[in-house]
A and B are shown apart, each in its own frame.
Chain A
Amino acid sequence: MAALTPYTYIRCPCSDVSAPGRPLDGSSPMAAAADDNGAGDDDDRTFDPRAPRSNYSLYPLEYLLYCEDCHQIRCPRCVAEEIVSYYCPNCLFEVPSSNLKSEGNRCTRSCFQCPVCLGPLAVTSLETKPDPSLLAAPDNAAAPHAGPYALTCSYCHWTSAEVGIQFEKPNGIHAQLAKLRNGGATRLTAKERKERRKDPAYRTQAAAAPAPATAGGEEGGPSSSAEVLDLETQFANLKAFYQGQLADPNSADSGLAALSDLGFSSPTSLSRIMSIYTGGGWQDKKAKSRVGAMREALEPDEGLQPARLDESAAIDRLRSEGHGATASAAQLRDQPPNLGEAHLHGRARFASELRPIPYLLRTKRSKRCPVCRHIISKPEAKVQTTRFRIRLVAGSYIPSIAVRPLPLSSSSSSGSGGSASGPAVVPGALLEPLRPAHYLLTFKNPIFEPVRVTLGAPARTPGRFASKVTVLCPEFEIDANTDVWDEALKESGERDRDKDRRRRRGEEGGGQSSSNNPHHSQLEVGKIWERGRNWVSIVVEVVPASLRLAPGDPPLREDEDVLEIPMFVRVEWEGEAGGDDVGAAAGRDAAKEAREKRELAYWCVLGLGRIKQT
C-alpha cells in the first residue's frame, strides 16, 4: 500500500452556505462530545471528511485564496475566473481574442501534438539522406532539407507520412494541414466545390468513378453508393439546396399547409434551423410569411447522402490488422473536429485516421471574489512573465499546519508497559491499531500580529472506525511574524539556542524523560510542545481504531483505513480597524489605537496515516 505522507486540507467555507437549511446527515451523537468552541460556529455539527460532499470542499492551503474585503477564504471552486490572455503552450505566443473567434481555440502556427501519444510533433524532411557535399561545407547550407516534409513524434516515432499527410513547405503547417485529408487527398475549398457543382463534366466523371454507381441517386437505394460526399461538401450542397428552396416561390405547392409548418419540410422551421447552423444569416423574412412544404434533397448535388451501412471492408480490415490498429477512445477524444472527413457511418475508427492535433490554447486567468467582486489574483498578461499584479493567497493570512509524527514511544504518556521500545518513526509507516500514537502539529503564523488559535476536534473521528483523538493543547498563542530583516538580524543569536534545544530533544527521542528538560519530554495537557519565533508546535494523541470487520460488515472502502481528523480552527487577532490590508507590514505602526478584533474560523482535516489492517 502506498505510503501516506501526513497532509492538511482546509475546508473552504463556500460549501457552508446551504448548511443551515440542510438536515443533519447522520451526524452521530458523538459529535456532541466535540468541544466548546466548535459548537458556537458550526451548529454543533462535526465536519465529516469522509462525506461524499467533502471531496469538493477540501483543499490544500496552497490552492486557497483569501479575500481581504470579506476576510474569508476562497477556494478554486468559489472564485470567479476571468481570462486575461490566451497563449499556445508550445510556441508561447499570445493569441489575441479576436483571432480566437475566427480561428478557434487551437494554435494556428506549426504546433502539433502526436495523435497517438500527445507528444510534440516536429517538422522533419522526409528526405532522410543529407547531401554528402553539405557535410564538407556547412556554411553554404542554405537549404539542406528539401522535398516533402512530415510531422514526426520523437517520442513514439509516429509520423504523419503514415497517414499520408505530407507537406511541401516546412512552415505554415496549420494552413497546409487544413487543406489535406488523410491519405494525402486534398480537401476541396469552398470555391472549388462551387465550381465542381457547376461543372457537368465533373459530375458525370465522379459518378462514373465508383464502379457500380448509378448515375444520379434518384432511386436513393442504399446499394447505389453514389458519390461519396465528405461532411463539408454535403453541408455545402444541402445549404445551397435549401437556400434555393427558400428563394423559390414555386415550392409552396402543398395542401397540408397547417401541418407542415411543424415538420422539417416547412420553410419556417427550415430557416430557423439554418439560422442555428449558419449564424443567423438565414433569417429570411419572406420565407417566414410563406407557408407550405418543400421537397427534400434528392441527389448528391442537393446534399443527399445515403448512409452506407456496408461495413464489410472495416470488418475485413479489423481481421487482418487486429485490435491494435484501432484508435483508443482517448485518442479519438483528443482529435479536433475535422470537417473534411468522411461520414461516420460505414467508417471504423482506425489509428490510420488520426490526424495531428493542433495544440489547444492555454489561458492566464485572474480570479475574483464571488461575493464582493474584488480581484484576488491577477497575473501579468504577458505570457513569458510569471509575476502577479495581485496575489492574495490564503497562505499569507491563515496559519499553516504541518503534521509530523512525534518520535515518542507510546509508553511515555500512558505509562503502560514498556513493550513499545520507541520504534523509529518511519515516515508513512502504518499506524498500529489501538496503540496511542503522537503527532506534532506545527502552526506557523504568517501575519504580523500575534494570533490566538483555538482548536476543536471531536473526541472520536467520524466514520465507521472511530479513532480516539486528544488535542493536548487546544488553545495557544502564536507570536507575530516579523520582517525578513528582523529575522536575519536576530537569527545569529537565536540559532544556537534553537539548535541546542533540538539536539537535546533528539537524544531523548526514545521516551526516557530527562530531568533537565521536563517541558519537552513530558506530554502535558495544556502545554505547548515547542515554540519558535512565529510558530508553535502542539501534540495530538490518537488511538487508531481497529479495522477488524464484524462478519456482516461490508468490506473496507477505498482509503477508509486512512486516519483523518476533522479539526475546527479558530484564529483571533487584532488588526487595524477598517484596514483592508491585514498582512501589510506598513500598517503596523499606523493607527495603533484603532484596533479591531478579527476572527476567522474554518474546518480542516488532518490526514495522519494509514491504520494497519490486522
Chain B
Amino acid sequence: MSRRPPRGEYIETDTGNKVARKATLVGTQNIMLGGKTVIQPDVMIRGDLTRTVHAAAPQPASQSATGAPPNNTAVSIGRYCFLSRGCCLRPPGRLYKGVFTYMPLRMGDHVFVGPGSVVQAASIGSHVHIGAQAVVGEFAIIKDYVRILDGAVVPPNMVIPSFSIVAGQPARLIGEVPEGGLEAFELRDLYKTVGNNPQPVPP
C-alpha cells in the first residue's frame, strides 16, 4: 500500500473553487461557479435540469436567426459559497404555459448550505446560512442575511425577507438577525479551512 497520497481530495480551480472529487455534478456545463466556492464530497448539483421553455419566447425568431445559444445555466453560484457534504442543489420546475420546465437556481455570495440539505429555491441572496437537513422548497426566494435553522422545511414559493431567522416545518419566522450578527455570515475563513492543504481555524 503506497503511502503517497495520489491526489488531493479536492480539485482546486484557477478561480479558487474547491470541488471534491467525490461530489456528483450532473450537467457541469450548466453549472456556474463564481469562484472560491467549496463543494464537499457527496454533494449533488443537478445541472442537467435546464430550461426547456425559454423566457425569451416573444422574439424566438430573432434569437434563432442569430444562432446564439440560449443561456442554459441551471445552477449559478456566487463566490465563497460552501456546499456541505451530502447536500443537493436542484433547479425548481413547474408548468409554464402548459409545458413543464425547469427554472435556474441562483445563489449569491457567502451562502452556506448545511449537510444533507436539499435546495430547490429560485433564488438565494448573499450571506445566507442554511442549516443541516433543511429543505428549501421549489421557487422559494431567500433574500440576503437569512438564517435557516437545522431541519427547517421552507415551503414552496415562500419569500424570506432579509434579516430573517426561520425554522420549523413548515418554516416560519422565528426571529431577526441582530445588527451585530452580520459578520457571522462571512465564509472567507471557512473557505480556507478546507481543501487539499487546509489551514487551521483562526481563534
Contacting residues, chain B, for A394 (C-beta < 8 A): 180
Whether B178 lies near A76 (C-beta < 8 A) is: yes
Q: Which residues of B contact A139 (CB under 8 A)?
A: 57, 97
Return chain A residues, CB-CB under 8 Å to B153: 155
Q: Nearest chain A CB to B121's CB is how many angstroms away?
A: 13
B194 at the interface (CB under 8 A from A): no
A89 to B142, CA, bound (A): 11
Option from A61, A130, A134 in Cβ contact (under 8 Å) with B180: A61
With beta carbons under 8 angstroms apart, the residue of A65, A141, A391, A535 that contacts B203 is A535
Identify which of B9-17, B31-39, B157-165 touches chain A. Answer: B157-165
- Stretch of A42-50, A113-121, A592-600 at the chain-chain interface: A113-121
Map CB proximity to B onto A36-69 as digits: 1 under 8 Å, 0 otherwise. Answer: 0000000000000000000000000111110000
A154's contact among B144, B157, B173, by CB below 8 Å, is which?
B157
Q: How many residues of A contact B (CB 8 A)?
A: 49
Contact among A134, A155, A532, A535 with B137 in the assembled complex (CB-CB below 8 Å) = A155
Contacts of B159 in A (CB 8 A): 89-92, 120
- Assess the A155–B203 pair: CB atoms within 8 A: no
Digit string of A125-162 for contact with B (CB within 8 Å is 1, else 0)? 00000110011001101001000000001111000000
| Contact (Cβ within 8 A) B180 A65 | yes
Asked if B1 lies at the interface with its beta carbon under 8 angstroms from chain A, I say: no
Residues of chain B from 22 to 49 with CB closer than 8 A to chain A in the complex: none
Interface of chain B residues 134 through 170 with chain A (CB within 8 A):
137, 143-145, 153, 155-164, 170
- A141 close to B97 (CB less than 8 A): yes
Q: How far is the CA of A153 from the CA of B53 in the complex (A)?
A: 26
B-contacting residues, A524-549, CB 8 Å: 530, 532, 535, 537
Interface residue A87 (Cβ < 8 Å from any Cβ of B): yes
Find out whether the CB atom of B179 lies under 8 angstroms from the CB atom of A89.
Answer: no
Knowing A76-B178, A135-B99, the reply to whether A62 touches B184 (Cβ < 8 A) is yes
Given contacts A89-B159, A154-B156, A386-B162, are A62 and B178 in contact (CB under 8 A)?
yes
> Are A155 and B145 in contact, CB atoms less than 8 angstroms apart?
no
Residues of B in contact, count (CB < 8 Å)? 35
Of residues 319 through 346 on chain A, the ones whose CB sits less than 8 Å from some CB of chain B are: none
Q: A444–B203 contact, CB under 8 A?
A: yes
Among B143, B172, B199, point to the contact of A118 (Cβ < 8 A).
B172
Q: Across the interface, name the chain A residue whose C-beta is closest to B101.
A: A138
A502 interfacial contact with B, CB 8 Å: yes
Asked whether any CB of chain B lies closer than 8 Å to the CB of A266, the reply is: no
The answer to whether residues A120 and B98 also contact, given A362-B161, A386-B163, A391-B179 and a CB cut-off of 8 A, is no
Cross-interface CB contact of B98 among A62, A89, A130, A377, cutoff 8 Å: A130
Verify B180–A393 contact, CB threshold 8 A.
yes
| Cβ-defined contact, B98 with A144, below 8 A | yes
Minimal Cβ-Cβ distance residue in B for A363:
B176
| A120-B155 contact given A141-B97, A499-B199, A535-B203, CB 8 Å threshold | yes
B181 within 8 A of A: yes
A495 proximity list for chain B (CB < 8 A) = 199
CA distance A399 to B179 in the complex (A): 17
Q: Chain B nearest CB: distance from A132 CB in Å?
A: 9
Pair A386/B170 contact, Cβ less than 8 Å: no
Interface centre among A90, A120, A135, A377 (most CB of B within 10 A): A120
Quick one: which of A138, A444, A535 contacts B99, CB cutoff 8 A? A138
CA distance A478 to B6 in the complex (A): 44
B-side contacts of A64, CB under 8 Å: 180
Provide the bound-state CA to CA distance between A362 and B57, in Å.
Answer: 37
Q: A384: which B residues are within 8 A, CB to CB?
A: 143, 162
- A377 engages B97 (CB within 8 Å): no
Interface centre among A63, A386, A391, A499 (most CB of B within 10 A): A386
B98 x A134 contact (CB < 8 A): yes
- Minimum CB distance partner of A536 in chain B: B203
User: How far apart are the CA atoms of A64 and B181 in the complex, in Å?
Assistant: 10
The yes or no answer to A442 lying at the interface (CB within 8 A) is yes
Query: Given the interface contacts A386-B144, A442-B203, does A134 sit within 8 Å of B179 by beta carbon?
Result: no
Contacting B at CB under 8 A, from A414-455, are 442, 444
Asked if B200 is at the interface (CB within 8 A of a chain A CB), the reply is yes
Would you give the 0/1 interface string for B45-89, flagging 1 where the beta carbon is closer than 8 Å to chain A?
Answer: 000000001000100000000000000000000000000000000
Instruction: Tell me if A122 and B162 are in contact (CB < 8 A).
Output: no
A365 to B160, CA, bound (A): 18
Contact across chains for B57 and A138 when beta carbons are under 8 A apart? yes
Which A residues are CB-close (under 8 A) to B97? 134, 138-139, 141, 144
Name the residue of chain A whose CB is nearest to the CB of B57: A139
User: Are B180 and A537 within 8 A (Cβ)?
Assistant: no
CB neighbours of A236 from chain B (8 A):
none
Give Cα distance in the complex from A34 to B164, angstroms. Answer: 41
Q: Is the CB of B99 within 8 A of A92?
A: no
Q: Are B180 and A395 in contact (CB under 8 A)?
A: yes
A154 / chain B contacts, CB cutoff of 8 Å = 137, 155-157
B173 touches A89 (CB 8 A): yes
Cα distance, A49 to B194, chains bound together (Å): 38
Contact of A120 among B158, B183, B203 (CB under 8 A): B158
Task: Verify A62–B181 contact, CB threshold 8 A.
Answer: yes
Distance, CA A384 to CA B163, complexed state (A): 11
Q: How far is the CA of A119 from the CA of B168 in the complex (A)?
A: 11
Bound-state CA distance A537–B164 (Å) is 33
Complex contacts, A202 vs chain B, CB 8 Å: none
Q: A139-B57, A499-B199 are in contact. Are A65 and B179 (CB under 8 A)?
A: yes
User: When chains A and B are docked, how far (Å) is the Cα of A110 from the Cα of B181?
Assistant: 32
**Given A141-B97, A144-B97, CB of A388 within 8 Å of CB of B203:** no
> Which residues on B sit within 8 Å (CB–CB) of A307?
none
Within 8 A of B (CB), among A159-173: none
A positions within 8 Å CB-CB of B: 61-65, 76, 87, 89-92, 117-120, 122, 130-131, 134-135, 138-139, 141, 144, 153-156, 362, 367, 377, 383-384, 386, 388, 391, 393-395, 402, 442, 444, 495, 499, 502, 530, 532, 535, 537
- Going nearest first, the 8 A-B pairs with the smallest beta carbon separation are A393-B180, A155-B155, A62-B180, A62-B181, A138-B97, A119-B155, A154-B156, A134-B98
22 contacts between A and B (CB under 8 A): A63-B181, A89-B160, A89-B161, A89-B164, A92-B159, A117-B155, A118-B170, A120-B158, A131-B98, A135-B98, A138-B53, A155-B156, A362-B161, A384-B143, A386-B143, A388-B179, A391-B179, A395-B183, A444-B203, A499-B200, A502-B200, A537-B203
Binding site for A on B (CB under 8 A): 53, 57, 95-99, 127, 137, 143-145, 153, 155-164, 170, 172-173, 178-181, 183-184, 199-200, 203
Beyond A131-B98, A155-B137, 17 additional pairs, beta carbon < 8 A? A62-B181, A65-B180, A92-B159, A118-B170, A120-B155, A120-B157, A120-B158, A130-B95, A138-B57, A138-B99, A139-B57, A141-B98, A386-B143, A391-B179, A395-B180, A444-B203, A502-B200
